[in-house]
Structure formats: C-alpha cells, structure tokens
Amino acid sequence: MKKLVLFTLGLLFSLSVSSQILKPVKWSYAAKKTSKTTAILYLKASIEDGWHLYSQNMADGGPIKTTFSFSPAKNYRISGKTTEPKATVKFEKSFNMNVSYFENSVIFQQQVKLSGNGANPVVKGTVEFMVCDDQQCLPPETVEFSIPVK
C-alpha cells in the first residue's frame, strides 16, 4: 500500500512538472515625462538564463523579431520608432543566418507626444516576441501592456 501511495505521488509530481508552461521572459513597464508635452516609455524584458529575445531589427527568414504596436488615443501619439540598445549578432545554423538578440535583460524606449486631453494618459499596446535557447524555440507570444504616464 505504501509503495502504491508513493508511486501515485511520484506520478502526479512528474505530470505537474512536465505540464508547466515555459515563460522565460517577464515584461515590466514605466514612463517618465520629459516635459509637459513629451514622455519616454520604458519597456523592459527580463530574460531567464540561457534564453535569447530577438531584436526588432531582424532580416526576414529568421526568428520572429520583437514588434511593438501602440493603440491610438486622443491624449498621446507615438513619436518616432521604438529604440533598443546594441544587440549581440551571431550566426545561427538553425536559421542559416546572422541573428540579433538580447540576453539577461533589455530596455526598449519609445518617445510619446502628449496632448492636453487628459492629465494622465495611459499608453496601451502589445509586444510580439520570440525566444529560443540552445535546444528549442518557443512559439511567438503576444503580450498586452498598459503604461500610465504621470
């Protein structure tokens, strides 16, 4: 009986471990007003060890590049392109091309023009991204964000 209980517990534990969903990237957001009419959004990806998050600046035919989409609103508008620090560039055999990626963490920045409609706008949008490690690539994921500008 004791062996049956231990076997059942072991089986349940192994099933719960194998069914965990991998989420190697955690996103966080902040905004800072730089004047009465401008602000900078900070979109930070914290990446688990061993994983790569791909740059916005990738050639077609490789991994899915990181892409930000911002919802239009009356009290702000996006100004320019989302910027990123210099990425690591490496030839990857699995894609047969050079890829640009980030490890550990990366902070993307986006300038926003504020209008007089609403004292504290909230910038909403999505980020689509893909991550890989040395063994596998996860399917592209899209995450919604909402960033208050105070």
**Greater model confidence, 82 or 119:** 82
Nearest alpha carbon to residue 137 among 81, 107, 95:
95
State residue 118's pLDDT score: 59
Task: Please name the residues in contact with 37: beta carbons below 8 A apart, sequence gap of 6 or more.
Answer: 113, 114, 115
State residue 3's pLDDT score: 45
**Greater model confidence, 65 or 19:** 65
- All structural domains of the chain with their residue ranges: 24-148
Model confidence at 13: pLDDT above 90: no
| Cα dihedral value 87, 90, 92, 95, nearest 10 | 50
State residue 2's pLDDT score: 47
Report the topology of domain 24-148: Immunoglobulin-like (2.60.40)
Tell me the pLDDT tens digit for each residue of 43-58.
999 999 999 999 999 9
Mean pLDDT of the chain: 88
Nearest alpha carbon to residue 52 among 81, 80, 84, 88:
88
- What is the distance between the alpha carbons of residues 75 and 71, in angstroms, rounded to a whole number? 11
- What is the distance between the alpha carbons of residues 88 and 53, in angstroms, rounded to a whole number? 10
Q: Which two tokens stand for residue 94?
A: 């699995």
- What is the distance between the alpha carbons of residues 45 and 85, in angstroms, rounded to a whole number? 12
DSSP 8-state class, residue 49: T
Beta-strand (E) ranges in 10-137? 25-33, 38-47, 52-54, 67-70, 76-83, 88-92, 97-102, 105-114, 122-129, 131-132
Residue 94 pLDDT level (bands cut at 50, 70, 90): confident
